[in-house]
Amino acid sequence: MRALILRRLLTALPTLLAVVILSFLLMKVAPGGPFDSERALDPATEAALARAYGLDLPLHEQVWRYLLRVAQGDFGPSLVYRDFTVTDLVAQGLPVSLTLGALALVAALAIGIGAGLFAAARAGRPVDHAIMLAMTLLTALPSFVTGPVLALVFALWLGWLPVSGWGDGRPAFLVLPVIALALPVAGAIAKLTRAGLATALAQDHVRTARARGLSPLRVLVRHALRPALVPVASYLGPAAAGLLTGAVVIETVFALPGLGGYFVQGALNRDYPLVLAVVILYAALILLFNLIADLAYGWLDPRIRG
């Protein structure tokens, strides 16, 4: 188990390092990039950039200085949002995005595992097939379609919930964005749970438990569920990636003041320091989720602990 986590870390840290270095170098060579001297920037920004990155130093020095700054959480000035550093923008937007993402992850896990269990308890019956078909459909629904459609139906037509905005984080404003974000991930988790349970229920140890005369629910929850959740755990990393990505579009659709909105504006306006900061931050978050998944494996299946 410790070896597994160590191995993951040994993969994760170089990956992150490579992302940072490669992005920095790409930025250097990109035509019309921030360090392209033909690009018209106002002198103040130009000077700030030169100071920040030590543009007159040899390349490896520049990379090293950039790494040091990133390690201290300093991503330099934003090119679009004048008067703000990238770190300021991240500090403003990240809490909103994390709230949205965390709620959506909880919702997706609850809906997904719940639906998977419910379907497995009725294995082979029409309810099972109907639920799993619905879950497949969910995975194929992009959040940038469900988001606007949900807003159209529940906000514009039915008037039950606000169309958009943050509303200082009041629950009513969060319902639609969280649902739109959670649905595809919930569908994927439900399918993984159901498939995992199908495998687990066919295993010998489940027959042993049934032979003991345990109730079907107890067999399902105590003997089958944990091994069935191993694939769900390995999906945590991709799920986090999906939620972070989806959050970008959901924040645009529902006009939420999260990091995603800044990111899109930054991308459209070629605000390199901002875009780079978000990519690095999200890469780190996803790596973190992969580590959490590794810890979860150990709990779900002691054989992995060795």
Partner 1 sequence: MKAARLPVLLLGLVILAAIVGPMLLPWRHDAIDWNAVRVPPGSPGHPLGTDMVGRDLLARSLAGTRITLLVAAAAAGVSLLIGVAWGAVAGWKGGRIDEAMMRIVDGLYALPFMFVVILLMVLFGRSILLVFLGIGAVEWLTMARVVRGQVLALRERPFVLAAEAAGARAPAIMIGHILPNLAGIAIAYLLLTIPQVVMIESFLSFLGLGVQEPLTSLGILVKEGADDMDVAPHALLLPGGILVTILICLTLIGEDLRDRLA
Partner 2 sequence: MSAVYAVAGLEVHAGDRAIVRGVDFAIAAGECVALVGASGSGKSQTCLAPFGLSPLRAMGSARLCGEELVGADEARLRRLRAAHTGFVFQQPLTALTPHLRIGRQLDEAWRQAGAPRPDRRDLVALMARVGLDRGDEWLDQYPHRLSGGQRQRVMIAAAIAHGPRLLVADEPTTALDAGLRRDVMALIARLRREEGLALLLVSHDLPAVAEHADRVVVLEEGHVAEAGDAARIFAEPRADYTRALIAASPRLTDPPPDLPLAGGTLLEARGVAVSFPRPGWRRGRIAAVAGVSIGLGRGEGLAIVGGSGSGKSTLGRAIARIGPADAGAVRWQGRDLPPRKAMRPGDRRLIQPVFQDPVASLDPQWRVADIIAEPLRHLRPGLDAAARDEAVARAIAEVELEPAIARRRPATLSGGQAQRVAIARALVAEPEMLLLDEATSALDVLVAGRVLDLLARLQRARGLAILFISHDLAVARRLCGRIAVMDGGRIVEEGDMEAVIRTPCHPVTRALVAASA
The answer to whether 3 contacts partner 2 (rule: CB under 8 A) is yes
Nearer to partner 2 by Cβ, of 92 and 203: the residue is 203
Per-residue binding letters, 58-87, with partner 1 (x by CB under 8 A): ------------------------------
Other Cβ atoms less than 10 A from the Cβ of 229: the count is 25
Q: Write down the least CB distance from residue 52 to partner 2, Å.
A: 38
**Residue 256: strand, helix, or coil:** coil
Cα separation, 226 vs 212, in Å, equals 19
Q: Which does 15 bind (CB under 5 to 8 A by kind): partner 2, partner 1, none?
A: partner 1
Return the residues of window 177-216 that contact partner 2 according to CB under 8 A: 203-205, 207-216
Cα separation, 278 vs 272, in Å, equals 10
Q: Write down the least CB distance from residue 298 to partner 2, Å.
A: 10
The candidate with the shortest Cα–Cα distance to 167, out of 154, 157, 176, 156, is: 176
Cα separation, 51 vs 46, in Å, equals 9
- Go through the chain and tell me how many residues it has: 306
From the list 137, 170, 222, 292, which residue makes contact with partner 2 (rule: CB under 8 A)? 222
The answer to whether 102 contacts partner 1 (rule: CB under 8 A) is no
Q: Tell how many helices (H) and how many strands (E) occur in the chain.
A: 15, 0
The answer to whether 87 contacts partner 2 (rule: CB under 8 A) is no
Q: Which stretch binds partner 1 (CB under 8 A): 56-64, 96-104, 207-215, 277-285?
A: 277-285
Return the residues of window 7-26 that contact partner 1 according to CB under 8 A: 11-12, 14-15, 18-19, 23, 26
Q: Write down the least CB distance from residue 193 to partner 2, Å.
A: 16
The answer to whether 275 contacts partner 1 (rule: CB under 8 A) is yes
Taking the CA of residue 147 as centre, how many other CA atoms within 13 Å lie in the half-sphere pointing to its CB? 21
The candidate with the shortest Cα–Cα distance to 36, out of 270, 276, 274, is: 270
From the list 127, 137, 221, 255, which residue makes contact with partner 1 (rule: CB under 8 A)? 137
Nearer to partner 2 by Cβ, of 136 and 208: the residue is 208
Question: Which whole-number Å values give the CA distances from 301 to 190, 217, 306, in the listed order?
Answer: 20, 20, 10
Q: Structure tokens of 182?
A: 């959670």
The candidate with the shortest Cα–Cα distance to 71, out of 92, 82, 57, 87, is: 87
The answer to whether 32 contacts partner 1 (rule: CB under 8 A) is yes
The candidate with the shortest Cα–Cα distance to 112, out of 88, 136, 129, 96, is: 136
Cα separation, 20 vs 302, in Å, equals 36
Using CB under 8 A, list all residues that contact partner 1: 11-12, 14-15, 18-19, 23, 26-27, 30-33, 136-137, 139-142, 144-145, 147-149, 151-152, 156, 237-238, 241, 244-245, 248-249, 252-253, 263-264, 266-268, 270, 272, 275-276, 278-279, 282-283, 286-287, 290
